[in-house]
Amino acid sequence: MRVFPKAKDNFHEPWHVAGDMFSAHMEASFEQLDNRLMIAVTGRLDTVSAPQFDEKLAPALAQPNAHILIDMSGVTYVSSAGLRSILQLVKSAAASGGRVGLFSVPPQIMAIIEMSGLPSRLDLYPDRAGAISHRAS
C-alpha cells in the first residue's frame, strides 16, 4: 500500500490511498467553511484506508470545538475499521466541544451506520445544503 498526497502540507488538497488489487482507491478532500471543516470522501473506508483517514484528520481534531461535516455521497463501502474511524472522530470532536455530521449518505452505507448505533452520537443530514444551513451550536 502507498499513500499519494497531492499536497503534503496543505490540509485542503485532496489526498489518495491506493491499495493492492483487492482494495479500491479512496480520496478525501477538505474545505473550511466558517467554523466547520467539510470533508468529501470517495471510495472505500476500510482496513486499508481508515488508518490514513485517521492520520489526516488528526490536525483538525487538535482544534478546540471542532465541527466536522463529512460528505459521504461518494463512499462505496464502509468496513468495521471505517466505522471505528468515524466513531473515533465523533469521540474526539465531542471531547473538545465539537460535533460531527454526515450528509448525503448512500442507502447501503446508511444501513450499516444505523446498525452500528452511530446515529445517536452524530448528526445526519440529507444533503450538503441541509448540513450547511444547520448552525453548529
Residue 136 phi, psi dihedral angles, 5° rounding: -65, 130
pLDDT at 5 exceeding the cut of 50: no
| 32-133 CATH | 3.30.750.24
- pLDDT at residue 1 is higher than 50: no
pLDDT in tens, 48-88: 999 989 988 888 777 777 899 999 999 999 999 999 999 99
Checking if the pLDDT of 137 tops 60, the result is no
Residue 58 confidence (pLDDT): 85
**Pairwise pLDDT comparison (10 vs 64), residue with the higher score:** 64
* pLDDT tens-place string over residues 17-58: 444 434 457 888 989 888 899 999 999 999 999 998 998 888
Whether 6 shows a pLDDT value over 80: the answer reads: no
